[in-house]
Structure 1
Amino acid sequence: MEYKDYYRILGLERGADQAEIKRAYRKLARKYHPDVSSEKNSEEHFKEVNEAYEVLKDPEKRAAYDRLGAGYQPGQDFHPPPGWDEGFEFHGGGYTNADPEAFSDFFESLFGRGGFSQTYGGRQRRQYNAQGENTYARIAIDLEDSYRGGTRQITLKHPTLGADGRPQLRERTLNVKIPKGITGGQQIRLAGQGEPGMGTGAPGDLYLEISFNPHALYHTEGKTVFLDLPLTPWEIALGAKVQVPTPDGPVKMTIPANSANGKKLRLKGRGIPARQPGDMVIVLQTVTPPANTDAQREAYRQFGEAFEFNPRKTMGG
């Protein structure tokens, strides 16, 4: 996907304030408007200008874009990294004067389908005595937090518009109760922790979407927890009783004889402990020890002679 330099499109420096952004947009919108422009490719330029303005005029979108844009050049291949918006508190952005269908894939990857704007919906219109807006953020916890529950301290960054007309990040720290059994993608609602209301209106709520930090041993799919379990060739062939780590503590497990590499064994109820607990899936992985000494190499030769086995037989080898 091509990286788009919205500042370059509007002819601005990255430190431009909101007044400069608005002036640049108005000038270029007049220049490239398809109804009046005689410029070559005016419609394409007009869409680019609208897209750039849609991002840079909004403090939340601009702060997210600036966070990702450092080090990229126009036209360079770009893919937003996983969890790029973790810890950012958003209202959801929404669209104003531009047609969402006219946006580029680059815009959509950040602020459209799957991005925070579409995930969380558009802005609410603030009125006198109106309820405050809900805010949203994604946070990452350890898998073990889901097994045990408890309280965690988190810090959120909230993009706002400073007095100088430039975006700035305001931080706040909260103590959050992590429910036991929560899964990736679920939300925690913190009542009254969103934006303040207008007049006598109640404050909005804060919704925290949960993801899991990368783990050295496990990965998850919904409530199911997966573990790749390394085994020796003789454990795979002869069977064995081995100790298997789980996020809730080690358990003993029987490996059936003549198991295949990649075979999946299931530990019922050992996955994420939701109301209906998930399972844990153990994926058997054969690990072959190296032959570094004469004795080890001789052992492998004798091993090979003991079997009439050719794994490439079906390939004509």
Structure 2
Amino acid sequence: MDFKDYYETLGLERGATQDEVKRAYRKLARKFHPDVNKEPGAEEKFKEAGEAYEVLKDPEKRAAYDQLGANWQAGQDFRAPPDWNDGFEFSGGGYTEANEEDFSDFFETLFGRARAQGARQQSSRQFHAHGQDHYARITIDLKDAYEGATRTISLQAPEVDASGHVTLKTRSIRVNIPKGVTEGKHIRLAGQGTPGIGQGKPGDLYLEINFRDDGHYTAEGRDVYFDLPITPWEAAMGGKVKAPTPNGVVELKIPQNAHAGQKLRLKGRGIPGKSAGDLYAVLQIAVPPAKTDEDRKLYEQMARQMKFDPRAKLGV
């Protein structure tokens, strides 16, 4: 997927004001509008300008886009970091009548979820004077899901200052992380969204849960997986080994002739809940290196005595 430099598309510097964004778009829209310009490529440039304007005219999307930094070049291969918008507030609205079919995959990757949320919120606001709901993603430790926790988080929301520049306003919120929460679920903070109109109630803030990558555990729903290294002799003869879990060390029984990738299930040791998940130790066989002459001789003796051919079934 190619990175889109929306500032370059509109011919702007990154510090351009919101008024400068509007003027640049209108100039390009008039120049490349399909009803005016019949040259090859004009319609594509018109669509690209519309997409860039859709992002940069909206303080929320512009501030979120700016979070990616200025080091990316247009056309450069891009993959959005999984935590690129953690702690960033999106309101429910802010999307125009632009034709979403004209948006690139790059736009969809960054803002597709927020646009869907905005569509739901705008639909409800046609009948109610409630404030807009806000959405943000927060990252927590897996241990918080096991035990529950209270955390203070910082959220950033954009606003336009008196000079027309987009700035970020930070606020801190005390959040109760419920025991048993799973990745992708939302915590609702009532009344923490946009204030209502007139006597309308304020909107809510929805925090989407993301688990921090600790390089050890992986969660799938309520089930949790981790790699457990064992020695070749533990795999062959079986035995008991100690293994870490999110809520303490346990002793696991390794079956005889265990193999790499084999899963050992610890029932009910996953993320708690009405129906608790399971914890799976995925066996990985660690091969000791032959660092000394004695080590090498031991391997040579094994090769002579065991006559083991792992490629026997391959017919080679």
Uncovered stretches (5+) of structure 1, i.e. residues with no partner: none
Deviations 1:248-294 (A, max 9, x none): 11111111101111111110000001221000011111001111122
Contact persistence 2:58–2:94 (CA under 8 A): no
Uncovered stretches (5+) of structure 2, i.e. residues with no partner: none
What does 1:168-187 correspond to in 2, within 5 Å? 168-187=167-186
In 2 relative to 1, CA 244–128 (structure 1 residues): closer, same or farther, beyond 3 Å?
A: closer
Which is worse superposed, 263-272 or 4-13? 4-13
In 2 relative to 1, CA 234–226 (structure 1 residues): closer, same or farther, beyond 3 Å?
A: same
Structure 2 distance, partners of 1:306, 1:246, is 38
What does 1:141-160 correspond to in 2, within 5 Å? 141-160=140-159
Q: CA deviation at 1:131?
A: 1.5
Partner of 2:109: 109
The one-letter code of the counterpart of 2:227 is D
Q: CA deviation at 1:121?
A: 3.9
The one-letter code of the counterpart of 1:240 is G
DSSP-derived class of the 2:45 partner: helix
Partner of 1:118: 116
Deviations 1:179-211 (A, max 9, x none): 001010001001111111122221111000001
DSSP-derived class of the 1:250 partner: strand
Structure 1 distance, partners of 2:159, 2:67, is 14
Q: CA deviation at 1:12?
A: 1.4
Partner of 1:249: 248
The one-letter code of the counterpart of 2:218 is H
In 2 relative to 1, CA 128–256 (structure 1 residues): closer, same or farther, beyond 3 Å?
A: closer
Partner of 1:308: 307
In 2 relative to 1, CA 25–235 (structure 1 residues): closer, same or farther, beyond 3 Å?
A: same
The one-letter code of the counterpart of 1:75 is G
TM-score scaled by length of structure 1:
0.94
Count residues in correspondence: 315
- Percent identity over paired residues: 58
Q: Does 1:225 align with 2:224?
A: yes
Q: CA deviation at 1:42?
A: 1.6
Deviations 1:206-245 (A, max 9, x none): 0000010011321111111001100000100000111111
TM-score scaled by length of structure 2:
0.95
RMSD of aligned residue pairs (Cα, Å): 1.8
Q: CA deviation at 1:128?
A: 12
In 2 relative to 1, CA 235–119 (structure 1 residues): closer, same or farther, beyond 3 Å?
A: farther
Contact persistence 2:93–2:132 (CA under 8 A): no
Contact persistence 1:95–1:122 (CA under 8 A): no
